[in-house]
Amino acid sequence: MADNKGVMILGEVIEGNLSSISTELLGCGRKLADELGQGLSALLIGSAVSGWAREAITYGADKVYVVEDPLLGDYQADSYVLASEKAAKEVNPSILLMGQTEVGSDIAARLAFRLETAAVLDCVALEIDPDSKRLLQTKPVYGGNAQAIYVTDTDPQIATVRAKSMTPLAKDDSRQGEVINIDAGLDASAIRTRILDKVKEEVEGVKLEDATVIITGGRGIGGEEGFKQLEELARLMKGAVGASRPACDNGWMPDKAQVGLTGKIVTPDLYIAVGVSGASQHMAGCSGSKTIVAINKDSEANIFRMAHYGVVGDWKKILPAFKEKIKELIS
Amino acid sequence: MNMIVCCKQVVDPEAPPASFRVDASANKVIPPQGIPPVISPFDENALEAALKIKDAQGGKITVISLGNNLLRDVVKKPLSMGADELVLLEDEAYAEGDAWSVAYAIASAIKKIGEYDLIFCGRQAADWDNGQVGSGIAEILGLPSVTLAKKIEPEDGKAKVERVTADGYDVIEVSLPAVITVSNELGEARYPTIKGIMAAKKKEPIVWKPADIEVDAGKIGASGRRTKLLKLFQPIREGKCEIIEGESPEEAAEKLATKLREVKVL
């Protein structure tokens, strides 16, 4: 443990870009590394990822470790865990951060067990304890009803970080750094899975993650029909439609529209929750919105504890009038 | 097809958020009055995954629950839904563990069970939302894992698994035995049948103490933790919702739109 030094983040290249969570991790990692007086490195794993090493440096990395291998083309747990294990053992970071994505959360848990250390998943705040110099890892628990602060005594201290909970640094093209290749040394026989297909479920219109206005429906919408009305309003406001978990579980909206702890994390300027009770697991996905508006017939609903503006009443009566007024105001 | 499903008894996540209380001095959640615990919902999805396979091709489902003071009515629910056996790792020594100590104890129990093709867990438990026990079991037993599954079809010593991704899903073939963690996208679990409830009443769970699964006492429960919980707290909510009222719902709606324009949200 005494030999472990520095902060390492796992960068993800998605659709030809260093993903937003990666730059957020670099921003957070830079701060932690500076506090410790140690270096920040980025780890890039894939079949052709070295092209993004320079980008990682401009966002704060001192060093970029690149593990490239044809066997690392698509994400698979076995190959990626082996690659990150190799890098972690060569670099010996004290802190290893990943995004709370389908890749990061998968690797972090397996890697922690393999390296006989521990991981804390879905952190929203990370700080260095001024006395012990250990990483204080804060994460929502109980579906967001509470938060817990954990500390890990073993190195590397592995944590995954929730999207949009950290701020990236401004890109600085003058920043200098070093790129180091690590040989993956992979053997195809160690990979016990095979990807048969990658299916994209494209959502029409504005993507939830990019939307500045989101109209979300919950259990109170009562069916697919109701969501059509939300879609009309969203179109008018150039926004996207989200859904709570019960609405998705009932099949009223596709799973990809789910906002919440295990769905999308969104931070629009305006979030209008219609017929949403405001369960903590839902709020975990939207509490970063600038303005939250609630429309619900139950004045005791939790959503009113979280919203900035609210109307108590039947959405079926409220929504059409709201839409007409909006039309008038924005015309 | 021998299947094992890990089911955790948790504080009901559907309990009203206002009933949620933390004992800050003990770093513990105070169970809400009058609201019984439940099987963690993602674990029910995991059980549903196993039940679907049993429906389609037969097989045996063994459920493992770990904890202390497990309520029989709660932990027997999987039996009433169609599981065949229930193994309880029930002892004070198992309590207050983290992903490490829980995965270690469950993996030891799975070794004792011996025969398994598929091991299912929920993607994360509704209490600590940590989502690592499945991966941990896979690492300890040296098995492949596929997390965040929404569909599982076993065939010829392999399984075809649909794994949820940010913008769709991957179709992954994995060799068996394997650990699969299941997400709610798989679909809601079935309700227990009357016949199932009657059968579950008569069925006695198998209880395994630490000695029964030959675990190292220092590696289970609180003593096996690798993460220390320093603080558990409820985030402070600002709670300043301005309620827009009107003579009619329509009037309130118009006022809301006007208000949003006034504060330049629109």
Among residues A156, A190, A224, which one ends one of the domains?
Answer: A190
A165 and A228 share a domain? no
Q: Indicate yes or no: CB of B244 within 8 angstroms of CB of A311.
A: yes
- Say what the pLDDT of residue A328 is: 94
d(CA B124, CA B181): 8
Has residue B6 got a pLDDT over 70? yes
- Say what the pLDDT of residue A204 is: 75
A177 and A219 share a domain? no
Q: Summarize pLDDT for B62-94 with one digit per residue, the tens.
A: 999 999 999 999 999 999 999 999 999 999 999
What is the crossing angle of helices A104-114 and A77-91, to 10°? 60
Share of chain B above pLDDT 90, in %: 93
Q: A180: which 2 tokens? A: 């180091």
Chain B residues within 8 A of A255 when measuring between CB atoms:
150, 164, 185
Contact of B157 with chain A, judged by CB distance below 8 Å, is answered with no
A90 and A37 share a domain? yes
Which of A:242-281 have CB within 8 Å of B? 245, 248-249, 255-256, 261-262, 269-270, 278-281
- Say what the pLDDT of residue B18 is: 85
Share of chain B above pLDDT 70, in %: 99
Residue A331: pLDDT band (50, 70, 90) is confident
A168 and A254 share a domain? no
A69 and A82 Cβ atoms separated by less than 8 Å: no
Q: Give the list of residues 6+ apart from residue A183 with CB closer than 8 angstroms, or none.
A: A67, A86
Structure ipTM = 0.94
Q: Summarize pLDDT for A2-13 with one digit per residue, the tens.
A: 589 999 999 999
- Say what the pLDDT of residue B239 is: 66
Q: Summarize pLDDT for A188-228 with one digit per residue, the tens.
A: 999 999 999 999 987 778 889 889 999 999 999 999 999 99
Contact of A189 with chain B, judged by CB distance below 8 Å, is answered with no
Average pLDDT over residues B171-197: 96
Count Cβ atoms below 10 Å from residue B30 Cβ, excluding itself.
Answer: 12
Query: Letter for the amino acid at B130?
Result: N
Q: Indicate yes or no: CB of B253 within 8 angstroms of CB of A321.
A: yes
A245 and A291 share a domain? yes
- Say what the pLDDT of residue A15 is: 87
Q: Indicate yes or no: CB of A195 within 8 angstroms of CB of B226.
A: no
The number of residues in chain A equals: 331
Task: Tell me the average pLDDT of chain A.
Answer: 95
A54 and A144 share a domain? yes
- Say what the pLDDT of residue B238 is: 64
Residue A202 lies in a domain: no
Residue A131 lies in a domain: yes
Query: Letter for the amino acid at A174?
Result: S
Has residue A244 got a pLDDT over 60? yes
Among residues A190, A225, A253, which one ends one of the domains?
Answer: A190
Residue A201 lies in a domain: no
A29 and A157 share a domain? yes
Domain count, chain A: 2
pTM of the predicted model as reported, rounded to 2 decimal places: 0.93
Q: Summarize pLDDT for A282-325 with one digit per residue, the tens.
A: 998 998 899 999 999 999 999 999 999 999 999 999 999 999 99
Closest CA to A21 of A33, A7, A10: A10
Could you give the domains of chain B?
2-224 (3.40.50.620), 236-266 (no CATH)
Chain B residues within 8 A of A198 when measuring between CB atoms:
165, 168, 170-171
A280: domain CATH number is: 3.40.50.1220
Provide the 8-state DSSP code for A187: -
- Say what the pLDDT of residue B16 is: 87
Q: Summarize pLDDT for B130-161 with one digit per residue, the tens.
A: 999 999 999 999 999 999 999 999 999 999 99
A170 and A268 share a domain? no
Residue A195 lies in a domain: no
Count Cβ atoms below 10 Å from residue B243 Cβ, excluding itself.
Answer: 14
A217 and A282 share a domain? yes
Q: Give the list of residues 6+ apart from residue A286 with CB closer than 8 angstroms, or none.
A: A214, A216, A242, A259, A260, A266, A271, A273, A292
Residue A200 lies in a domain: no
Q: Best mutation site among B45, B183, B184 for testing chain A: the one with the most A CBs within 10 Å?
A: B184
Which of B:159-188 have CB within 8 Å of A? 160, 163-175, 178, 183-185, 187-188
- Say what the pLDDT of residue A44 is: 98
Q: Indicate yes or no: CB of A148 within 8 angstroms of CB of B128.
A: yes
Q: Which among A110, A237, A310 has CB closest to B139? A: A110
Q: Token match 């070794």: residue? A: B111
Has residue B13 got a pLDDT over 70? yes
Has residue A86 got a pLDDT over 90? yes
- Nearest residue in chain B measured CA to CA from A154: B226
- Say what the pLDDT of residue A330 is: 87
Q: Looking at CA atoms only, how far is residue A119 from chain B in angstroms?
A: 8
Contact of B74 with chain A, judged by CB distance below 8 Å, is answered with no
Share of chain A above pLDDT 90, in %: 92
A73 and A177 share a domain? yes
A242 and A323 share a domain? yes
A69 and A184 share a domain? yes
Q: Summarize pLDDT for A263-287 with one digit per residue, the tens.
A: 999 999 999 999 999 998 999 899 8
Has residue B32 got a pLDDT over 80? yes
A47 and A69 Cβ atoms separated by less than 8 Å: yes
B182 and B149 Cβ atoms separated by less than 8 Å: yes
Has residue A240 got a pLDDT over 80? yes
B72 and B11 Cβ atoms separated by less than 8 Å: no
Rg (CA), chain A: 22
Domain, as residue range, for A130: 7-190
Residue A239 lies in a domain: yes
Query: DSSP readout, chain B?
Result: -EEEEE--EE--TTS-GGG-EEETTTTEEEPPTT---EE-HHHHHHHHHHHHHHHHH--EEEEEEEESS--HHHHTHHHHHT-SEEEEEE-GGGTT--HHHHHHHHHHHHHHH---SEEEEESS-TTT----HHHHHHHHHT--EEEEEEEEEEETTEEEEEEEETTEEEEEEEESSEEEEE-GGG-PPPPPPHHHHHHHHHPPPEE--GGGGT--GGGSGGGG-SEEEEEEEPPPP----EE---SSHHHHHHHHHHHHHHTT--
SS3 string of B124-149?
CCCCCCCCCHHHHHHHHHCCCEEEEE
Q: Which among B29, B140, B265 has CB closest to A146? A: B29
Among residues A132, A162, A190, which one ends one of the domains?
Answer: A190
